[in-house]
Amino acid sequence: MLAPIGGIVLMIMYRQRARTGVTWGIAGAVVALAASIVGFLGPRLSLFSGGGASGEAFLGTMRAWALLRVALLAVSVILVVIGAFAGRQGGRTPVAWLSTGLALVAVGSALTFVHVGLGTNNEDLSEILGLLVETAQFALLGLGVLLLCLAVVSGRPTADGRREPAAAVANAAIKAKQFYDRAHVNRR
């Protein structure tokens, strides 16, 4: 859920590189944030919206929320991809960031429609697997949106004197990993 916010922050930090692209990208990230909120709250609100009257009504409400989320994600991805291409004057398009982000979003969106049902004898296991699928879904979608937001500002002219956004993100990830490793070693 925080990935679209991280993408917005990243694009604001590098807004000098691509004003038009950043405008499209931020619009897409805001729609992605709305999709995340729908994905998180939709199933929970289904329980309170009369879905408990029958199993079929509950499943219908859940499907409606899932379709709304997928539609919002589709709009979000379109806007961010437009942002990645907007205002590029002979610069290289970050195809690797775009293709990886699109692939992650596609797989995460497909997980929306994966339902784990192992029968009445394994309801606990089905619940655990369902939560794992939901966790993987949120992780893939979040990382995909973040990579797409990175594509908006990557490979642009560096008139702002800052380092390439991809290098800055990679450096931050390395530092986070090093921090995690130090914290983990200190716990032993």
Q: Look over the chain and give the mean of its residue pLDDT values, rounded to a whole number.
A: 84
Q: What percent of the chain has pLDDT over 90?
A: 31
Average pLDDT over residues 127-156: 88
| pLDDT in the model for residue 51 | 47
Q: What is the pTM of this model?
A: 0.80
Chain segment 45-92, per-residue pLDDT in tens: 766 765 455 667 766 777 788 888 889 999 999 999 999 998 887 667
**Environment class of residue 136 by beta-carbon count within 10 Å: exposed (0-12), middle (13-18) or buried (19+)?**
middle
Interval 159-165 mean pLDDT: 75
pLDDT grade for 5, boundaries at 50, 70 and 90: very high
What are residue 2's phi and psi, to 5 degrees?
Answer: -85, -15
CA pair distance 28, 39, nearest whole angstrom: 16
pLDDT of residue 43: 73
Residue 49 is classified by DSSP as T
| pLDDT winner (highest mean) among 66-70, 91-95, 118-122, 165-169 | 66-70
| Per-residue pLDDT at 30 exceeds 50 | yes
CB 109 within 8 A of CB 141: yes
Q: Is 157 left (phi over 0), alpha (psi -120 to 50) or beta?
A: beta
| Residue, of 114 and 158, whose pLDDT is higher | 114
